[in-house]
Structure 1
């Protein structure tokens, strides 16, 4: 039956022609398919950031084929793959990027390695698989081609998975890895809402006093607030400022949250 939508998530940036080339390949092979650009500003080679953004976005997209390319191993022995989930298909490198999104769409139901040369560009660049491998595969899947035609099956258990992010909970608080820092400087932590249950109204976040609130306005202007964000993760913001700058953290760092003395 096919799909009417393809989404693109990459670290390609917007100053070169990489994104346009991927759009062009899809448009030439599947002109009736519409493309949603999730983001092309994933920090270069930051697979965890790309995986997090994709997993938190795909539940709100139309059912379709989701292409993600954050691929520091391009041209090496890492596999190109396509995954089937109850909520759609995913195409990209086998480096952990796709699995969280597949789980957000109901779990990996089937997986294949992309080896069928008839599905790829006539000449595949060693450094641009987004254009020459993943975009043409996505276009064919969107037009209704069978996943099984793309290449041999892979056991879902054999897919590369990212290590679990750090979360250490104690009676007086927790330490969590920074998953993402968004455009506003809000710091998303690898902690579920339950990590804040029973915590007092004032906490110490990275050594700074913070209000335990529900929204940015629960803290006075310029003060930190710790809350549950729109993706259902614990996050830290500054009312009218940038929490990442205040805490001096970036993705992959750890932030401690403790009860105030």
Structure 2
């Protein structure tokens, strides 16, 4: 099987030549393959953020070889792996980065460790596996190499997996950790629309958002523009997550939260109340 597409995510940024070098390796091995740059602006070494972005993105990609490189353990004994998941092959470090994306593709059905010297660059470097290991392996797979040729089998149960984000649902209350904060400062929770419904909040006019000792009341809406500029709104975002956003503002900064922090949404009595940046 060959692939027309390689999807590529890293924390390399664009100031240096790291991304271009990986593109060049892919082009040298599989010149007809096209590369989709998912993002190269994952915060440095933030495996969890990279995993969340990959998982949000892969359902909308064509069948592809998906390469993820957020790799604080590069040069150590951590494994480089290739996973079969649905119609896709996922390649990167075995540090949990690929785990949520594999689930979004239907689950990992086979895995190998990237040990074959035939499918890597022969360099003395130990700190640039994106160029020397992952990019060439992806290009060879896209050009028709079978995943089993890349190295020895790895039991799927032995792969590193990030823990599931924390969610708790009770009548009238939904508690969840912040799953990801995007470029706009929108705060996507680990909870989804079903969780909101199970908590009995789906039909609420507004909800109270609690962060530590601070409380904020916000309407439950469908778009950012349902509130005035700078005010908060709770909605289901484009990835299906319950999200706290600020119209033309930065909700994460207003709430003072980051990925991994916990928020609580509760039902509130109908009637006048404060919406926006300040405590309720």
Scaled to the shorter chain, the TM-score interval is over 0.9
Q: Tell me the CA shift for residue 170 of structure 1.
A: 2.5
Corresponding residue number in structure 1 for 2:275: none
CA distance in 2, matches of 1:225, 1:184: 14
CA distance in 2, matches of 1:50, 1:194: 24
Q: What RMSD, in angstroms, separates the aligned Cα atoms of the two structures?
A: 1.2
Choose from 233, 253, 257 the match for 1:249: 257
Name the SS of the counterpart of 1:52 in structure 2.
Answer: helix
Runs of 4+ in 1 over 6 A off after TM superposition: none
CA distance in 2, matches of 1:161, 1:108: 11
Report whether the alignment pairs 1:43 with 2:43: yes
Corresponding residue number in structure 2 for 1:73: 73
Instruction: Pick which of 204-213 and 64-73 moved more.
Output: 204-213
Q: Tell me the CA shift for residue 87 of structure 1.
A: 2.0
Query: Where do residues 204-223 of structure 1 align in structure 2 (5 Å cutoff)?
Result: 204-206=208-210, 207-223=215-231
Name the SS of the counterpart of 1:111 in structure 2.
Answer: strand
Report whether the alignment pairs 1:240 with 2:248: yes
1:166-200 CA deviation, whole Å, 9 max, x = no partner?
Answer: 11222231221111111111110000112322322
Gaps of 5+ in 2: 270-280
What's the TM-score, normalizing by structure 1?
A: 0.96
Corresponding residue number in structure 2 for 1:140: 140
Corresponding residue number in structure 1 for 2:274: none
Contact kept? 2:174, 2:196, Cα under 8 Å:
no
Tell me the number of residue pairs that the alignment of Structure 1 and Structure 2 aligns: 261
Gaps of 5+ in 1: none
Contact kept? 1:65, 1:89, Cα under 8 Å:
yes
What's the TM-score, normalizing by structure 2?
A: 0.90
Q: Tell me the CA shift for residue 260 of structure 1.
A: 2.7
CA distance in 2, matches of 1:208, 1:249: 13
CA distance in 1, matches of 2:87, 2:192: 23
1:48-81 CA deviation, whole Å, 9 max, x = no partner?
Answer: 1111110110111111100000111111111000
Structure ID, larger Rg: 2
Q: Tell me the CA shift for residue 125 of structure 1.
A: 2.0
Query: Where do residues 1-261 of structure 1 align in structure 2 (5 Å cutoff)?
Result: 1-197=1-197, 198-199=200-201, 200-206=204-210, 207-260=215-268
CA distance in 2, matches of 1:226, 1:124: 51
Contact kept? 1:204, 1:259, Cα under 8 Å:
yes
